[in-house]
Structure 1
């Protein structure tokens, strides 16, 4: 990091040491799997709420959202607007359900409902989702820090990954939660600092942002047409956001595990709402940052010319052929390089690192937990000793961290971090949520109905995702929906096929 001033290097170094220090502090408590996976159920609700908020506010938000707003508009903010309804469903139904079962894994009860295959299938979908999420986050922080330092992106991912693996291994879930509390504060301060910096460089402050953004339709939430499901309209993103957020709050091991870490059911439910109260307005701040950067570089086009030339060279096209979405993810890092004063730059980099570390550390811990409960104890060693439990947790945590780094390296070169993550999340989450809803809402659906519905749901998801690759003569059977609809249609396919099949088979079963 020789290209950064010593004061910024010191701030970043102190932050990383502090995170590892928290891991060492809580390592003395990690004597059993109960402490490692759910902090023995002693975490206050306000800390869990900030932990949820920090997980949502990943580097995909810190970098991808401003890049998306710069390149297009505020259409993606509709995702945030869907959170309250999903939070209400989760707080009212899912939290009491999980607290009552007492199972640390979100997927154990599916075995009781449909069989071992359902538990293993949803666990595998969860792990793939986590790898996609963590990989995109590693890529996001590497993209920024490379722009600031010139260090190779692969090196950045490996170094930051080692730090995250270290404190997650040492401190377990309690370290994850309390580091996320610190990270939530740092992220929020970092966002406020970026807003202040951009505003201070505008000729007429916020009025320029509203004027330039308005002329270029940067504040649009998308089309409100109810007949267009092939583009990213307001309703498409709203439905996508509701189903993804219901998946997050309702069946994602990251969140379910922390419901068990709460002192009580009431505090667990309150933590969901605290997350919503923080995330929705702060995510709006990040969209504003993207629009403000668009206005800033509209006033000073010469300051973005270098980025445009670099992207044009990478794509092999003329600079004049570029559109803002082609280089949106590079705009915030470029602004930081050229406009942020010494000292404050280190704070903002620490905020970006914290945005990444919170989501990755919780993903590693939760993935290790489901591997222990749903794979190792289910298929390998049912009478596992406490010492062996800790060994499995340590090894699987580190393994997930390494695989996430590999996934991040594989993503180098993608156009939009946010678009990539949304697409992968839709593919892997649709099957999980549909099966969960079938199990919870249909009293008559059994193993046969669940298997049939899941197979059909997977076929639908694969068709919606990859039918664009069909030759031109088969254009009539290509997916007519926007890719954000994958989780919506996939979830509904599994639930409706299972519920309807169970209803049709019920008279036959009763007659027999």
Structure 2
């Protein structure tokens, strides 16, 4: 598909400008502390914007409108849980991590349960980020391929190299500042798109809501008690747990808590970044609903192959190319690209930080010099950027692998969150209690994640998880916490009786 030259120019200027701006931080990035925490001197609002941009990816930019177009606003309920997680993060998690003084989110687990817990969590995190980088690069390349006609593998390689270069050269300062700019571009793009849709309705803006209401497009889902369906309550509980995971144990977020000069500034940045996502996600869902009303009122504008409800994810990219004024299309494409770059750069920097703090300085060179530490950070950025590109290239055209990966991501993240909550909420739990809880919890998570993929025959249906997939992290986390807590109570009671 050939877009007007003005759109291509807008896209290239915004994207190339981000890369050059990020690389410009190289001269201010001479120590490992500056690379990983920016010397603890970054403005709170910039860090908050970075937290917001880290939360939003190119997947969100395209998938949320797609969900609203195909169904309703049920998935928006996820955002309702964010304020609760943000308040808990600012009240408990930020002071905890800043008080420990370690740039690693997993140092706390070692303090509580020993080195095995830190190695387990950090390894899961690294694996998660590698696959996340590969998946984001692929899912970022797909719409650009559809919009520009560029080769998917070329997009993956060029994007991977560009993000790796500015992440490596500029460290966390480049990541956070470019995140902030990319977040602003993303918000502007979404608002412009929403406005164009609203004022393009044949009978005026009110028609958006009339058609949406008539087709139950504004529903937040069923308020029933089913645990097998995506009800309001299932999505809300899932949102609470996944956001506690993000703010409590995800290195991407924890590392940002260390980049401001005080607890108060770190807390305000966590709240600002989290709460900003709520209205922006509302804009994304509104775009999806407005698209439905727009093409329902003017069905002749939508090609026949996109009128199938299952093709909803492709409607927004089609509108971006065919329904927006010239120049604005380039802005929206740049917004999508910026969201993906932000996610990838964050993953590369945080992974390099974990390699340095949790492995190199912990086990290989405890008295590491600044020169050797910076070398490790540079090499790690290059290695994981390259691995992300390779993983992305191997996933091209293999959609089922992506589905399997999202299931595996639940295995890693669920175990990490349960272990953290066990450490944080119960000071008497011992190493062995935590280990037993993690083993049983991960087994439950594996069963819930993979059983729908493998137990599809009639004879095997009884072995499938009866719960909605969103509840995987919820149930797995609760199993880890409850088993660990009960193990502590049981063994302590036996020891007391024997004495």
Q: 1:133 to 1:304 in 2, by over 3 A?
A: farther
Residue deviations 1:178-203, cap 9 Å, x none?
Answer: 11111111111100111122223221
Structure 2 counterpart of 1:297: 295
Any idea what SS the aligned residue of 2:28 has? coil
Partner of 2:411: 427
Render the CA deviation track for 1:137-169: whole Å, top value 9, x for unaligned.
Answer: 323322221121111222212212221111111
Distance in 1, matches of 2:48 and 2:370, equals 30
> Which residue of 2 is the match for residue 496 of structure 1?
482
- Range that drifts further, 4-13 or 461-470: 4-13
CA distance in 1, matches of 2:188, 2:206: 23
Aligned partner of residue 435 in structure 2, secondary structure? helix
Q: 1:70 to 1:419 in 2, by over 3 A?
A: farther
1:148-187 to structure 2, matched below 5 A, reads 148-187=147-186
> Which residue of 2 is the match for residue 234 of structure 1?
232
Rounded to whole Å, the distance in 1 between the matches of 2:406 and 2:191 is 25
**Residue 390 of structure 1 pairs with residue 389 of structure 2:** no
Give distance in 2, aligned partners of 1:416 and 1:214.
35
Preserved contact between residue 63 and residue 140 of structure 1 (Cα < 8 Å) = no
**Whole-angstrom CA distance in 1 between matches of 2:189 and 2:254:** 28
Do the aligned residues in 1 keep the contact of 2:418 with 2:480 (CA within 8 Å)? Answer: yes
What displacement does 1:421 show? 8.3
User: Scaled by the length of structure 1, what TM-score is found?
Assistant: 0.92
Deviation of 1:416 after TM superposition, in Å, equals 11
Structure 2: how far apart are the matches of 1:155 and 1:299? 38
Say if 1:423 and 1:484, in contact at 8 Å, map to a contact too: no
Cα-to-partner distance string for 1:426-482 (whole Å, 9 max, x where unaligned): 332110000001111112211111111111011000110112222432322321100
Q: Normalized against structure 2, the TM-score is what?
A: 0.94
CA RMSD of aligned residues (A): 2.2
Counterparts of 1:417 and 1:288 in 2: how far apart (Å)? 31
Residue 477 (structure 1) aligned with residue 475 (structure 2): no
Distance 1:427 1:213, change over 3 A: farther
Q: 1:501 deviation in Å?
A: 0.5
Aligned to 1:201: 200
Aligned to 2:472: 486
1:400 to 373, 377, 384: 384
Which residue of 264, 267, 270 corresponds with 1:269? Answer: 267
1:193-220 CA deviation, whole Å, 9 max, x = no partner?
1112222322123322212222222111
Structure-2 residue corresponding to 1:140: 139
Structure 1 runs not aligned, ≥5 long: 309-318
More displaced 10-residue stretch of structure 1: 113-122 or 419-428: 419-428
1:4-15 to 2 correspondences below 5 Å: 4-15=3-14
Aligned-residue offset at 1:81: 0.5
Shift of 1:405: 2.9
**What is the deviation of 1:234?**
0.8
Residue pair 1:414, 1:420 contacting (<8 A) in 2 also: no
Using the alignment, how far apart are the partners of 1:91 and 1:351 within structure 2?
29
State the alpha-carbon separation in 2 of the partners of residues 192 and 66 from structure 1. Answer: 13
Q: What is the rounded CA distance, in whole Å, between the counterparts of 1:307 and 1:381 in structure 2?
A: 59
Who is 2:337 aligned against?
Answer: 353
Name structure 2 gaps, 5 residues minimum. Answer: none
Q: Which residue in the other structure is 1:437 paired with? A: 421
CA apart distance, 1:25: 2.2
Give the Cα separation in 2 of the matches to 1:61 and 1:420.
19
The 3 A distance-change label for structure 1 pair 417 and 327 is farther
SS in structure 1 at match of 2:199: helix
Structure 2: how far apart are the matches of 1:138 and 1:198?
A: 28
Inter-CA distance 144–258: structure 2 relative to 1 (3 Å threshold):
same
